[in-house]
A and B are shown apart, each in its own frame.
Chain A
Amino acid sequence: MTTAPVLHLDNIVKTFPGVRALDGVSFSVLPGEVHALMGENGAGKSTLMKVLGGIYQPDGGDIYMGDTKVTMSGPLEAKAMGIVFIHQELSLAEELSVAENIYLGELPRKSFGRVDWATLTAQTNAILKKLNVGFDAKTRVGDLSIANQQMVEIARALTVDAKAVIFDEPTASLTDAEKVVLFDVIADLKADGVGIIYISHRMEEIFKITDRISILRDGQYQGTVVTAETNEEAVTQMMIGRKLDLSRNAAHHDLGAVALEVRGLSCGALYQDVSFEVRRGEVVGFYGLVGAGRTEIAETLFGLRDPSAGQILLDGEEVRLHSPADAIALGISLVPEDRKGQGLILGMNCRDNMTLPQVDDLKAGPFVAEGAEIAIFDQYRDRLDIRTPSWKQRVGNLSGGNQQKIVIGKWLSMHPNVLIVDEPTRGIDVGSKSEIHKLLRELAAQGYAVIVISSEMPEVLHVSDRIVAMYSGRITRTFTSDEVTEDNLIQAISGIKPGHAA
């Protein structure tokens, strides 16, 4: 290969307070190549993309396009240089037409500042024809399905003379037929000599369409392999690594009575016919891809969604949960997935955040017993090793790991019967990560019934006594820690029937 890479990253470093998000990442994308970028959540993929898009400035390292060193100062500059992003989160104006969205910011003009609709429509329809989609330039974007909105995003990339196109989980919401169209588009781009970075968790796709795979783990570059010369297992191995002490949990201990039982629970199209039980002293891990229905089950158990069918039993008695307040009163706690959006009130201080669910119960006459509050805060600060100068600190000023510990402390101080933890270590540093894992095991040993939802396989393997695998809204299999292997777990969450594995 003598062609110069369209894009070359050399030793990129990016740090945030407390976290080394990117630690010496280097790889090249060649013209006409589909280059997969893989890594688990929190491995640094999205940080890397933000560096490429000029949203973050790297603390070290260089970016080259062809032979020239470049600096990205923002998405516009990146686009002008020919780097185009297809985001996972759509950035469309729903009330505007497809054409206006595709040419957002660069609508063709006529005299008096008028939009040149004829040109706009013609250009748009030409692009849409290439994409072979079933809607036209004048359709309102809000009327399109999510998949078609994704196509609009892709169409946007085709309007510029792109040198490199970055797809971030493009198939997350696409049907199989739509995927075929997408892969055709990628093939066309490839034929035109465009370099493509393809970010996805789906092995199947990666092995179908990519030429090479670069792997990140905990912000570190693990290497680049040629797709044809490797296999899923090897790639998974590189993604997961064995750096942390993530040995399989084998600490069998005595389990108590069934604390929570779910029978045939369904919630519309989100998940169907889910049944499982959790005993005291047990950690049950829920593993599956994003969108498999794990978080939605947790939200139902916390009174945030009304199930369409099924029963929830606590200590053998059926309960109805209409709000988190109901759930909390019955001893269910949820450490939510979105720490900043759902877990914390960032403008409030540490103490007030921690005692929020029980503020009604901490009374000194008509007032809140602030002394009792501080005592609770101190207790969990010490137990969880929360690093903050004082309880008066705004939670928004803490690092991700300490923020997460505040949320966990908030629920531990409620002494729940059932503790549900959704993505407990997303976006937090390695040190806090293993502390939280240790804590979850300790809680089980103390007799809590714990549910851990995670997208990280090592985490699930490490902390769980049993693992519930989900695929597309259904439980595909429940493993005991003796039965589970990485292979059969991957099969279970990919919807592959045992024996059909590649």
Chain B
Amino acid sequence: MQQGTLSKALKSGAIWGFIAFELVFFSVAGEFLSLSDKAFMDFDNMLLLLKQSAPIGIIAMGMTIVMVNGNIDLSVGATFAIAAIILLESMTWPIFAALGDWVIPVAWLLALTAGTLLGALNGLIVWKTGVDAFIVTLGSMLGFRGIVFMFNGENPTSHLNWTLVDFAEAEFLGLATASWVLLAVTLVIWFVMSRTVHGRNAYAIGDNREAAVNAGIRVGPHMMINFAIIGFLAALSAVVFYSESGSVNPNDGQLYELWVITAVVLGGTKITGGAGSVIGTFGGVIAIQLLRKGLGHIGADTSTVNLVIGLILIAVLFLDRQLNVKGKEELKV
């Protein structure tokens, strides 16, 4: 019993402990290795970090609810790219020409709707066919990417709207728009998962599906809603990012699913579902971004970042297993 509590405390605190470790490590190591004179734990640097975390972070919140629900979504990167293209393309469509800058909310709405519908489509297929979410979203990851190419082939899609860029680059209380969106999404998903009936039922389904079904919880609609949520958030992430950059390549968003899943698992969400928290995921997102920046700060290149993140993911899995290790007399199967 006590052991269990210890392991739980370790697990829930682990990600923040890891972040603290990263901060100290990179600050100290930076003194000796850094190419720049700036301190690592610089306030501006931290704000920038939050902003840079946003694209992955926003999607990771959706992945948390989907994974807690017992599913997974590999198609988020492709959804992200579709939403980005719709956002930028639609602003150039002649039918919206008369709208002036009012085209911006329309474009947002279109992109977000597209993302939500694609997510809901995944959910509907998982629900109605009973095919595993991994396979369904593996398929739609390819299919959605195909749709991305249908817009402009292999050419990038670009459209800069300065009003939009100004909005995206605006800062409020020192935080960039993207950071605000990330914080707001975190708050809303936290609310959904911990305070609403839908959220609690999502946990129950991921934890013990049979018990949930026996208690009359309708598994299908809950799953579909969660897929719609992650689709919406993938689109929102694109809206935030491309409002500023104004140009999207058809390969953008590739491997996002891997980054997002890494963040969610680092944040303590169980891959089999039923356990996980948005706050943990937030920690996971920050930890990854910190690692990228920190390694950059001490002069390591992207290759080291990939290597380290991959190994850390495995190490977390290993530690988690060691903390839940079976008693000696347990059945060895």
Contact = CB atoms under 8 A, between A and B. Distances in A.
The answer to whether any beta carbons of A and B sit under 8 Å apart in the complex is yes
Interface of A: 75-76, 79, 91-96, 100, 104-107, 109, 112-115, 143, 145, 267-270, 299, 303-308, 323, 342
Interface stretch (B94-102, B158-166, B205-213): B205-213
Given A268-B327, A270-B329, A299-B331, A115 B195 contact: yes
Contacts of A267: 329
Contact of A91 (B210, B329, B330): B210
Contacts of B198: 113
A95 B207 contact: yes
Nearest to B197: A107
B196 interface: yes
Interface in B117-143: none
Given A113-B197, A114-B196, A114-B197, 20 more contacts: A76-B214, A91-B208, A94-B207, A95-B203, A96-B204, A100-B204, A104-B212, A105-B212, A105-B215, A105-B216, A105-B217, A106-B215, A106-B216, A112-B196, A115-B196, A115-B200, A143-B4, A143-B5, A299-B331, A308-B329
Contacts of A307: 329
18 contacts: A91-B211, A91-B214, A92-B208, A93-B208, A93-B274, A94-B207, A96-B203, A96-B204, A105-B201, A105-B216, A114-B197, A115-B195, A115-B197, A267-B329, A304-B331, A305-B330, A306-B329, A307-B329
B321 interface: no
Contacts of A145: 1
B66 to A, nearest CB: 16
A307 B331 CA distance: 11
B333 A304 contact: yes
B207 A305 contact: no
Given A104-B212, A143-B5, A308-B328, A93 B203 contact: yes
A392 to B, nearest CB: 28
Interface in B228-255: none
A304 B332 CA distance: 5
B275 interface: yes
B190 to A, nearest CB: 13
A266 to B, nearest CB: 9
A91 B211 CA distance: 5
Interface of B: 1, 4-5, 195-198, 200-201, 203-204, 207-208, 210-212, 214-217, 274-275, 327-333
Given A109-B197, A299-B331, A96 B207 contact: yes
Contacts of A308: 328-329
CB-based closest 8 A-B pairs: A105-B215, A268-B329, A93-B207, A91-B211, A104-B215, A105-B216, A93-B204, A93-B208
Nearest to A342: B333
A104 B210 CA distance: 12
A493 B187 CA distance: 58
A76 B330 CA distance: 36
A95 B211 contact: no
Contacts of A79: 216
B208 A323 contact: no
Contact of A100 (B200, B214, B274): B200
Contact of B211 (A92, A270, A306, A342): A92
A95 B275 contact: yes
B212 to A, nearest CB: 7
Contacts of B275: 95
A76 B213 CA distance: 9
Nearest to B194: A115
Contacts of B215: 104-106
A342 B332 CA distance: 12
B204 A104 contact: yes
Contacts of B329: 267-270, 305-308
